[in-house]
């Protein structure tokens, strides 16, 4: 919670106002208290620390609303196999589960912390993190505790999601496992999971299994999100609409009718283009299907070892534009305000007065360069709650 004045901003994007050139932002006690032309900066601010943007573009910090960043081991062999002609299969999750179960708390904290630090360097200021790579009650609760500890120790805002229903673990009866996940929801809630997610897809959980888990979670007051229609058209998007989930994520196989249902229910469609690239699915047209139906869009990294080892929101934005056909502002808004909407947070993802003082100073004088310049760092500096990172 800090005071800060960011001055000499070449172009300021707030989403709450039209773009302002030669701008300044005042942050008081961690919140935006004033935005406007640098020349109109209110007098009497006192001895507030200043950050000189030196003509760079400034925008809200990225809100990465879909990640699985707590894992151990690697899946590089899966990727190498796909490049030799193989396909992605959720069966590969088992090897990450084995490695994660074998890792110490300290190892999970270290690797998770490093991933968050990389995300922050790439401009992420709020991140959602799912459990789902232990798949035993004790292990999943341990992962939720690691997420809570990361939230307490890292300079980033964290939202915690319980994904005990990621896949049926090897050697378990699926009916029993689903029952166990449902029975574990109150514990997950106590271990600070605000959200519940299910991987509803071919090779994971069916629509009816996902519905049982999510209805039980809703009864406990947890927010709902859903991995839907990523690997096949299994009906996940329709379920997300029926249950009023905050978000339906992936959606590579979404149909216009599904998209209309999501739009009518106000469900945010979360695009995770790095996963479409990394799995070799090369499906991109769902973004246009969602947009045409009027589904509010978000963009996320999906950071995970199997389908998207990606800690960079600018990279996800580039793919959303260059592969999925989003416009630059559309994608930047989806990666900030859209992510916030997917997490039902009105206080992040924009720089209106009263919002959290979370912003990025870009490494350029124009925000379109986030998309125009490939392979170079897009972010010079992140500010979270008025604290320069
Ligand atoms: O979002 N789809 C489910 N979960 C991850 C993949 C998990 C994995 O392959 O390790 C995803 O793509
Ligand atoms: Fe995912």
| Smallest-distance ligand from the CA of 278 | 1
Distance (angstroms) between ligand 1 centre and the Cα of 307 equals: 6
Distance (angstroms) between ligand 1 centre and the Cα of 34 equals: 41
Ligand 1 and 199: CB distance under 6 A: yes
Q: List 383's β-bridge partners, or say none.
A: 359, 388
Ligand 1 and 125: CB distance under 6 A: no
Q: What residues have CB less than 8 Å from 241, skipping those under 6 apart?
A: 248, 258, 261, 262, 264, 265, 267
Residue 44 pLDDT? 86
Residue nearest to atom 10 of ligand 1 (CA): 306
Residue 387 pLDDT? 97
- Report yes or no: 38 and 22 within 8 Å, Cβ to Cβ: yes
Residue nearest to atom 8 of ligand 1 (CA): 306
Buried/exposed 221-230: b ≥16 CB within 10 Å, e otherwise: ebbbbbbbbb
Ligand 1 and 381: CB distance under 6 A: no
Distance (angstroms) between ligand 1 centre and the Cα of 365 equals: 36
Residue 1 pLDDT? 58
Rounded to the nearest 5°, which phi and psi values hold at 26? -110, 130
Residue 2 pLDDT? 78
Residue nearest to atom 11 of ligand 1 (CA): 307
| DSSP run (H or E) holding 28 | strand 20-28
Ligand 1 and 270: CB distance under 6 A: no
Residue 154 pLDDT? 86
Residue 196 pLDDT? 99
Structure tokens at 68: 């699985």
Structure tokens at 269: 């469609």
Residue 164 pLDDT? 98
Residue 368 pLDDT? 98
| Smallest-distance ligand from the CA of 274 | 1
From first to last of its 389 residues, what are the pLDDT tens digits of the chain? 579 999 999 999 999 999 999 999 999 999 999 999 999 999 988 899 999 999 999 999 999 999 999 999 999 999 999 999 999 999 999 999 999 999 999 999 999 999 999 999 999 999 999 999 999 999 999 999 999 999 999 889 999 999 999 999 999 999 999 999 999 999 999 999 999 999 999 999 999 999 999 999 999 999 999 999 999 999 999 999 999 999 999 999 999 999 999 999 999 999 999 999 999 998 999 999 999 999 999 999 999 999 999 999 999 999 999 999 999 999 999 999 999 999 999 999 999 999 999 999 999 999 999 999 999 999 999 999 999 99
Residue 72 pLDDT? 98
- Closest listed residue to residue 351, CA positions, set 11, 64, 4, 31: 31
C-alpha span between 377 and 177 (Å, rounded): 43
Helix runs in the chain, H state only? 76-83, 93-102, 105-121, 137-153, 174-190, 207-219, 236-243, 256-265, 273-278, 286-293, 313-322, 328-333, 339-342, 369-372
Residues bordering ligand 2, an ion, CB closer than 5 Å = 302
């Amino acid at each position: 919670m800090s005071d800060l004045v960011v001055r000499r901003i070449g172009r300021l994007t707030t989403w709450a106002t039209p773009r302002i050139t030669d701008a300044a932002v005042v942050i008081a006690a961690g919140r935006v208290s004033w935005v406007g032309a640098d020349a109109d900066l209110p007098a009497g601010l006192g001895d507030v620390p200043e950050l000189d943007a030196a003509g760079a573009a400034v925008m809200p910090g990225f809100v990465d609303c879909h990640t699985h960043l707590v894992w151990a081991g690697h899946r590089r062999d899966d990727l190498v196999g796909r490049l030799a002609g193989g396909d992605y299969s959720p069966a590969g999750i088992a090897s990450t589960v084995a490695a994660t179960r074998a890792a110490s708390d300290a190892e999970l904290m270290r690797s998770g912390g490093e991933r968050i630090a990389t995300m922050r360097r790439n401009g992420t200021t709020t991140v959602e993190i799912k459990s789902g790579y232990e798949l035993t009650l004790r292990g999943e609760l341990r992962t939720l505790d690691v997420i809570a500890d990361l939230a307490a120790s890292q300079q980033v805002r964290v939202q915690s999601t319980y994904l005990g229903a990621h896949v049926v673990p090897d050697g378990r009866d699926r009916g029993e496992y689903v029952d166990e996940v449902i029975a574990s929801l109150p514990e997950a809630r106590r271990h600070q999971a605000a959200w519940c997610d299910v991987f509803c897809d071919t090779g994971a959980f069916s629509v009816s299994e996902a519905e049982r888990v999510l209805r039980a979670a809703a009864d406990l007051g947890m927010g709902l999100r859903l991995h839907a229609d990523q690997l096949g058209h299994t009906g996940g998007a329709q379920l997300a609409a029926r249950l009023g989930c905050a978000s339906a994520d992936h959606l590579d196989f979404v149909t216009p009718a599904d998209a209309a249902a999501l739009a009518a229910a106000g469900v945010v469609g979360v695009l995770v283009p790095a996963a479409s690239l990394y799995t070799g699915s090369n499906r991109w047209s769902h973004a246009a299907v969602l947009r045409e139906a009027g589904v509010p869009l978000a963009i996320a990294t999906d950071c995970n070892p199997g389908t998207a080892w990606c800690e960079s929101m600018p990279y996800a934005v580039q793919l959303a534009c260059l592969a999925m056909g989003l416009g630059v502002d559309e994608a930047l808004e989806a990666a900030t305000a859209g992510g916030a909407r997917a997490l039902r947070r009105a206080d992040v993802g924009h720089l209106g007065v009263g919002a959290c003082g979370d912003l990025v100073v870009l490494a350029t004088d124009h925000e379109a360069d986030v998309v125009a310049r490939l392979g170079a760092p897009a972010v010079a500096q992140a500010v979270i709650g008025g604290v320069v990172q």
